[in-house]
Amino acid sequence: MSTQVSFVQQVNLNFDKAAQFIDYPPGLLDQIKTCNGVYHMSFPIEKDDGSVEVIHGWRAQHSHHKLPTKGGIRYSMLVDEDEVVALAALMTYKCAIVDVPFGGAKGGLRISAREYSSQELARITRRYTYELFIRNLIGPGVDVPAPDYGTSEREMGWILSAYKALASDSLEVTACVTGKPVTQSGIRGRKEATGRGVYFGIREACSMKDDMKLLRLPPGLEGKTVIVQGLGNVGFHTAKFLQEGGATVVGIAEYEGAIHNPKGVDIAQVMQHRIETKSILNFPDASNVQSTAQALELECDILVPAALENQITAENASRVQAKIIAEAANGPVTAEAQEILKAKGVIIIPDAYLNAGGVTVSYFEWLKNLAHVRFGRLGQRFDENVQMGMLSAMEKLTEKRLPESEAKLLTRGADELNLVTSGLEDTMITAYHTIKETQKQHGEEVDLRTAAFIVAIEKIAQSYLELGIFP
């Protein structure tokens, strides 16, 4: 196999591997695998100095078996047609795995956000929204973007603002994009959703006693060592939740280099150091590592690539010492590398499942926008009153009274963040066990990634059959 396999080809190789275990007509499988449409656009923007620059952008809609399509927008110099098509395909499979009723999409602009002022980025984002709008590539029931690499809730707020100025239907307009600031109809918990979902997925994988026995590790997160590549939104929150869950973060890697301390580093302090110095290097409680690539090869129990694709390849896979690789990023392990790691007994928790927390909570945000009501608003106070009544009755029976602080904790009704977190946790746990059950049904030749693709393909195929498109 050539090391020059494209990202789309990597995804399709994983699809084809899973399709061998599924008895569906070849035409149906081809329809599921094929990207329905990809659009390239270019447009000029005026920079702060008065010069004009032409920006290139893309939007891919991989599957319309469910509507709307859904997928992030990334700002990166690596963005091209191959990347957005591959990521759109992964989004299709991801949504199916976690039972989110969207087709997959993805978009991006070939820019480095760090090279533009906020005013320039606002103009670029608004113009990109216009380009999507005139091509019918954005709308609450059509295609709903979200943040991705190089973008955040700020850019999603700009997209909403631009879309509002263009759309005639004002009732459902806020559902045109997710990952928005809470003050602009966003949802609590969306910013940390992908990282929290990665945490739930890793925690569930580490609870599998038989798998941990094969790795010669005790079950659970407690004491497990972790290296995280990427300290962006996903990497930071993943590291934070893993640390809070009992794991020890021994290394952090970023584009400027990496740091390492076998006894562990405090993720909040590392982030504060980076804010102050613009770098994770020279962190007082850790030693510098020469490069990100070198950090991937350091000893640890769990390696979390949370940056970009193609980070672990045939060239470095044999030197990776981690026993578990948790794909927080999309496509960080190539197909060649996966075979090498599988032969070493490494468990890979696949991206198509593991980083689905973002789209899951985006789904909750979309529902909130369509319903025009905050989660928890209708029932929170009622639940508190019922539980307060039960507690009062128990206190009368036992003739004992709880301290006020404990009483408040026990009788607290679920607010929006509680409900979002609970829904995300249930989604990730349920999906993991579905994948594991599928893996068990097919035997040792099927790893977690192949099992996840089998789950996705079967669900999508059933949707097409229900639509009556295939006999």
What amino acid positions are annotated as catalytic residues?
106
Q: Sign of dihedral through CA atoms 438, 318, 229, 2? A: negative
d(CA 177, CA 164) in angstroms, rounded, equals 11
CB 60 within 8 A of CB 107: yes
Q: Which amino acid is at 180?
A: K
Nearest Cα residue to 330 out of 75, 148, 188: 148
**CB of 306 within 8 A of CB of 230?**
yes
Find where tokens 């990809």 sit: 38
> Torsion over CA of 15, 21, 27 and 33, rounded to 10 degrees?
-10
For 282-309, letters b (16+ CB in 10 Å) and e give ebeebeebeebbebbbbebbbbbbbbbb
For residue 175, what is the DSSP state?
A: G
Query: DSSP letters of 238-279?
Result: HHHHHHHTT-EEEEEEETTEEEE-TT---HHHHHHHHHHHSS
| Structure tokens that stand for 269 in this block | 């302090």
Contact 155, 142 (CB under 8 A): no
Q: Are 129 and 162 in contact (CB under 8 A)?
A: yes
**Contact between 91 and 71 (Cβ < 8 Å):** yes
3-class secondary-structure state, position 398: helix
Nearest in space to 454 (alpha carbons), one of 470, 471, 437: 437
Residue 225 pairs in a beta bridge with 248
Cis peptide before 68 (omega within 30 of 0): yes
Give 146's strand partners.
Answer: 72
Three-state SS at 59:
strand
- C-beta separation of 90 from 449 below 8 A: no
Residue 287 parent element (H or E): strand 287-289
Name the nearest CA neighbour of 153 among 361, 426, 304: 361
CA dist., res. 256 & res. 279, Å (int): 7
